[in-house]
Amino acid sequence: MKLILSTSNIMSGGPSVVRRPFFEKSNTELTSSLRGNFTNHQSESGTNYKSWTTQADRSLYVPTHEPSPLVEPRESYDITVKLFYLPNVPADRRCAQTREAIELVLKELGSKSIDLLIVSFPGMAFDADDEDSDLEDPPSAPQSTSEGCDDTEVPPEDIETMVATWKTLEKLHSEGLVSKLGIAEFGVARLEKFLEHTTVKPSVNQINVRDCCVVPKPLILYAKQQQIELLTHNDCTNILPRGTLRQILGSEENGSGILASESDQDGLKGDVAPQWVVKYTAVVKDRGVVENKGYFAAAELRET
């Protein structure tokens, strides 16, 4: 069974939510928003998961989800989506996963297209102080330089695997679903090798800079030469580890009761494996206001 988890619009909870710090790390924001959304639905519908979730075919939507379409005309917004491909998930699933994630976001926002899609590959890290971070295949690399991220060490993918995934994104671009494409954590050496194989060049390279704003000059010059915009972020690469997901869905303290435990057999039985996470943001252009922001995450329930 597939589980589709959603936070709903995390900007719609009143002033206390709108004033959330924008520097909050994405993994913290994701888990706290999921827990908050689950708790809200449980308080309205009851604690038994069947009362506040919906099953369609082989997918369980956690919680039952109602889209919150944008209120102004589409041209009033900049819509940015970041898709996190997670470790230990076969790369050949990404074509279907990418379309599924984009379709969920488009339905949520009531839009037919997004302006920018950034993809995060597993095992990628950017270190402004370490020239070795640009090597194609170092033995092992930390997934994020953000302190406090619950990451494990995963070797980065080779260029060929990333290029194969990029072909899927280029097709979305050609279909008009995505206006611009972006990547994350690419240094100069990796960018040079990657660009040789692209038809649609990335418009954005999003990097996690540990020391605030110290971007290496060679990367600045190369990005300018290739007309690639450099953006910074504080996202974790492995934004939803398996253990964290198990805690969120489990029947123990702070869990939502989706999964059964030894003492509570009412939930689903089996283990969960995260598949992907997508973050979306819709900004009103002329006011710079974030009107809609949220996350979807997909997981597989595997019977044990």
How many Å apart are CA 30 and CA 23, to the nearest integer? 13
Residue 256 maps to a domain: yes
The pLDDT of residue 11 is above 60: yes
294 band by pLDDT with thresholds 50, 70 and 90: very high
Counted domains in the chain? 1
Q: Is the dihedral of CA 68, 69, 70, 72 positive or negative?
A: negative
Share of the chain above pLDDT 90, in %: 71
Summarize pLDDT for 166-219 with one digit per residue, the tens. Answer: 999 999 999 999 999 999 999 999 999 999 999 999 999 999 876 556 788 999
Distances (CA, A) of 282 to 147, 216, 261: 27, 30, 38
Residue 148 maps to a domain: no
Share of the chain above pLDDT 70, in %: 85
How many Å apart are CA 250 and CA 261, to the nearest integer? 7
Reported pTM: 0.89
Longest CA span, the chain: 61
Residue 80 maps to a domain: yes
Please compute the mean of the pLDDT values over residues 81-88 and round it to a whole number.
96
Q: Specify the amino acid at residue 146.
A: S
Residue 255 maps to a domain: yes
**Contact status, residue 249 vs residue 272, Cβ threshold 8 Å:** yes
Residue 141 maps to a domain: no
Residue 140 maps to a domain: no
* Three-point CA angle 61, 63, 69, nearest 5°: 90
Predicted confidence at residue 18, as pLDDT, reads 36
Q: What is the mean pLDDT of the chain?
A: 87
Residue 262 maps to a domain: yes
For residue 194, what are the domain limits? 2-130+154-302
How many Å apart are CA 218 and CA 187, to the nearest integer? 9
* Three-point CA angle 247, 92, 96, nearest 5°: 75
Predicted confidence at residue 154, as pLDDT, reads 77
**Contact status, residue 85 vs residue 121, Cβ threshold 8 Å:** yes
Sequence length of the chain is 304
Q: In this predicted structure, which of 8-17, 58-67, 124-133, 163-172 has the lowest mean pLDDT?
A: 124-133
Highest mean pLDDT among 8-22, 117-131, 185-199: 185-199
Please compute the mean of the pLDDT values over residues 245-257 and round it to a whole number.
92
Contacts of 252 (CB under 8 A, 6+ apart): 261
Select the more confidently predicted residue: 61 or 138. 61
